[in-house]
Amino acid sequence: GAVVSQHPSWVICKSGTSVKIECRSLDFQATTMFWYRQFPKQSLMLMATSNEGSKATYEQGVEKDKFLINHASLTLSTLTVTSAHPEDSSFYICSARASGTSGANEQFFGPGTRLTVL
Amino acid sequence: DAKTTQPPSMDCAEGRAANLPCNHSTISGNEYVYWYRQIHSQGPQYIIHGLKNNETNEMASLIITEDRKSSTLILPHATLRDTAVYYCIASGSARQLTFGSGTQLTVLP
């Protein structure tokens, strides 16, 4: 199946610093990538939709100036958490959508990045 | 995305079939049914999807009722490694996936 990687798998940073998370589709091209956030014992919440070569679309309540998304190529999207604070500590997961001949567009998920802000 | 309803938890004996139900009574004609699972502290794993017909792959079978208002994911021979949260999602082909709370499947030895 399609493989999506994320880097780093975990990161610990001090409050006020910025953290960049990379999401790569390894064996397919992804015109659309998605960024999710998951807090403990909760389900995944969509943060933003990232289309290659254009600005990301953010979900309501997600600050676009705090969570910077860049989708510069068909295989790479990055999420930068700027001026991170302890409440930004979470599990960040990306996914990439592959177009299938059936017309459905199943998404393939990365392994996630655990962010801890001290 | 159409709303889906799943039981919060289920147990299954190792080696037996696990049948996970999902209700999606408001699904529209162009929405697919997707199943994903998430093992603790990992990203979700795609399992299977379908539109109208039953589907089978190396991981599971998906049975969709004729009126498409519900479906069942079948893991034919559950193993301990199948313990995970299983998400049923109804979504159109061009839309993002909306995750509900899913079903925690626990496979018991």
pLDDT (average), residues B90-101: 83
Inspect the interface and report whether the beta carbons of A111 and B46 lie closer than 8 Å.
no
Inspect the interface and report whether the beta carbons of A102 and B45 lie closer than 8 Å.
no
Which residues of A fall within a CB distance of 8 Å from B55?
Answer: none
**Which pair of tokens denotes residue B67?**
């009126």
With bands split at pLDDT 50, 70 and 90, how would you rate the model's confidence at B59?
very high
pLDDT (average), residues B15-37: 94
Residue A101's Cβ-count burial label (10 Å; 0-12, 13-18, 19+) is exposed
pLDDT, one tens digit for every residue, chain A (118 residues): 689 999 999 999 999 999 999 999 998 888 889 999 999 989 999 999 998 888 899 999 999 999 999 988 889 999 999 999 999 999 999 999 875 545 566 789 999 999 999 9
3-state secondary structure chain A: CCCEEEECCEEEECCCCCEEEEEEECCCCCCEEEEEEECCCCCCEEEEEEECCCCCEECCCCCCCCEEEEEEECCEEEEEECCCCHHHCEEEEEEEECCCCCCCCCEEECCCEEEEEC
- Say yes or no: B8 contacts chain A, CB-CB below 8 A: no
CA distance A111 to chain B (A): 4
Most A CBs within 10 A among B39, B96, B101, hence the mutation to make, goes to B96
What pLDDT was estimated at residue A53? Answer: 80
Task: Mark B51-85 as b/e (b = at least 16 C-beta within 10 Å).
Answer: beeebeeebbbbbbeeebebbbbbbeebeeebbbb
**Which pair of tokens denotes residue A24?**
């790569």
User: Among A26, A42, A47, which Cα is nearest to A96's?
Assistant: A26
CB A70 within 8 A of CB A77: yes
- Say yes or no: B55 contacts chain A, CB-CB below 8 A: no
What is the maximal distance between C-alpha atoms in chain B?
A: 41
CA distance A70 to chain B (A): 18
Which residues of B fall within a CB distance of 8 Å from A44?
Answer: 38, 44, 99
What pLDDT was estimated at residue A1? Answer: 66
CB A47 within 8 A of CB A23: no
List the single residue in B with minimal CA-CA distance to A94: B43
What is the percent of chain B where pLDDT is above 70? 98
